[in-house]
Copies of this chain bind each other. A is one copy, B any other.
Amino acid sequence: MHNNSVDYSLYLVTDRDCLGGKELVATVEQALQGGATVVQVREKNLSTLEFFQVTSRIKSITDKYGIPLIVNDRADIALAVDAAGLHIGQEDLPLAVARRLLGPDKIIGVSASTLEEALLAQEQGADYLGVGAVFPTNTKDDADSVSLAALKSIKEQVRIPVVAIGGINRSNVQPVMETGIAGVAVVSAVIAAQDPYEAACDMLQLIRA
Contact = CB atoms under 8 A, between A and B. Distances in A.
A52 B91 contact: no
A76 B93 contact: yes
Contacts of A100: 80
B74 A101 contact: no
Contact of A48 (B48, B52, B91): B91
Contact of A52 (B49, B74, B79, B93): B93
A75 interface: yes
B80 A93 contact: yes
A98 to B, nearest CB: 8
Contact of A101 (B49, B73, B76, B91): B76
A43 to B, nearest CB: 14
A103 to B, nearest CB: 12
Interface residues of A, number: 19
A48 B97 CA distance: 12
Interface string A69-86: 000011110011000000
Contacts of A90: 49
Interface string A95-128: 0010011000000000000000000000000000
A94 interface: yes
Contact of A49 (B49, B79, B92): B92
14 contacts: A48-B73, A48-B92, A48-B93, A49-B90, A49-B91, A49-B94, A50-B91, A75-B76, A76-B79, A76-B93, A76-B101, A79-B101, A80-B93, A80-B100
Interface of A: 47-50, 52, 73-76, 79-80, 90-94, 97, 100-101
Given A75-B76, A76-B79, A76-B93, 6 more contacts: A48-B91, A49-B91, A49-B93, A52-B93, A76-B101, A80-B101
